[in-house]
Structure formats: C-alpha cells, structure tokens
C-alpha cells in the first residue's frame, strides 16, 4: 500500500505556532485515514520547536533552497534564528518517508516548512510570495510529489497513478 505523508495540523493536531490545528474534512483525506495510509508529521515539532512558538518566515529575498544550502535563515518574529530546527525538521520528515517508501505528501500551504505553492515574504506583513517551505523543498528534491490542502483532487489522482504503477 502507498502511504501518504500529511501535515499533522491538517489532521487537527494542535501543533501550529499558535497552539492550534487546522483540521481538514476533505473526503479524500477521510478515505485515506480509513484506509490507514496517512503518516502524520509536523516538521517544526520534529525539529525541536515548542508549541506554541513565535511565527517564523524565511528571510526576505531568500528561498528554501538557500536555507538548505546554508545561505539563508529562517527567522522568528522575536528575531531568533530558527534555521537549525527547521532544517532538522525537514530531515526528520524526509526520514519518515523512507521506511515506508512514501512518494507523496499533502502539506499545509503557506507554512515556512510545509508550503508548496506560496510562503510569506519574510517581513511578517502577511504578504505571500510564490515559493515553498523548507520541508517541501527537501521532499521534492528527494522525488516526492508534494501537494497542499487545496489540491486533494490532484493528490487523489496522484495516489491512483502511484498505485497503478506499483500494481498495489
């Protein structure tokens, strides 16, 4: 069976920076949960960040690839450099995919770890920019398909393709 990595907060786990979850009721996710194929991960908690924690963003003008290369930082609203736990969390998420041969993920959009279509611009002003979070970048580099919670239909189709290709 193909397992799918899913952001813990989308499963309602209270792991976000604000101490809350963002439970998602999509039918695709409900089916995957019934089928027992969901593997939950919160990269930031896995990397050692507390709950709650100050919001953080990739610094202005930089991207997740630069963070992974050691050329950019992830910074909290307090000014604290939280790059190390973010990178550690991304590696933990990747490690979670390896034992089960996981090839796809659905991660929370907009997060500096989990975003796959946009992140925030680093000025803590609520402005989005196209880009990905640190974990999404590392997973994509490893060949995983990464979707957001706005793409359940596409994610469902991807899973069907993977299962057809694998002959279950």
Site for ligand SF4 in 121-150 (CB under 6 A): none
Close Cβ partners of 50 (under 8 Å, ≥ 6 residues apart): none
Comparing CB distances to ligand SF4, the nearer of 84 and 157 is: 84
Residue 14 DSSP code: S
Cα–Cα separations (whole angstroms), residue 168 to 83, 125, 160? 39, 46, 10
Among 3, 16, 58, 83, the residue binding ligand SF4 under the rule CB under 6 A is 16
Comparing CB distances to ligand SF4, the nearer of 55 and 65 is: 55
Taking the C-alpha atoms of residue 36 and residue 16, their distance in angstroms, rounded to an integer, is 24
Taking the C-alpha atoms of residue 14 and residue 9, their distance in angstroms, rounded to an integer, is 6
Comparing CB distances to ligand SF4, the nearer of 85 and 156 is: 85
Among 42, 119, 136, 159, the residue binding ligand SF4 under the rule CB under 6 A is 42
Count Cβ atoms within 10 A of the Cβ of residue 62 and give its class: 0-12 exposed, 13-18 middle, 19 or more buried.
middle
Comparing CB distances to ligand SF4, the nearer of 29 and 163 is: 29
108 binds ligand SF4 (CB under 6 A): yes
Interface residue list for ligand SF4 (CB under 6 A): 7-9, 15-16, 42-44, 108, 111, 113-114
């Amino acid at each position: 069976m193909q397992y799918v990595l899913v952001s813990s907060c989308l499963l309602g786990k209270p792991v976000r920076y604000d101490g809350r979850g963002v439970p998602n009721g999509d039918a695709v996710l409900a089916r995957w949960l019934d089928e027992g194929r969901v593997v939950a991960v919160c990269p930031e908690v896995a990397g050692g960040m507390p709950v709650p924690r100050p919001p953080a963003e990739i610094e202005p003008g930089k991207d997740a690839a630069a963070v992974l290369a050691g050329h950019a930082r992830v910074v909290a609203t307090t000014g604290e450099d939280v790059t190390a736990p973010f990178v550690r969390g991304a590696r933990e998420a990747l490690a979670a995919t390896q034992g089960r041969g996981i090839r796809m993920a659905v991660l929370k959009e907009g997060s500096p770890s989990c975003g796959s279509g946009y992140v925030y611009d680093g000025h803590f002003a609520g402005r989005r920019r196209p880009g990905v979070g640190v974990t999404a970048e590392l997973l994509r580099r490893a060949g995983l398909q990464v979707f957001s919670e706005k793409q359940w239909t596409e994610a469902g189709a991807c899973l069907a393709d993977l299962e057809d290709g694998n002959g279950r």
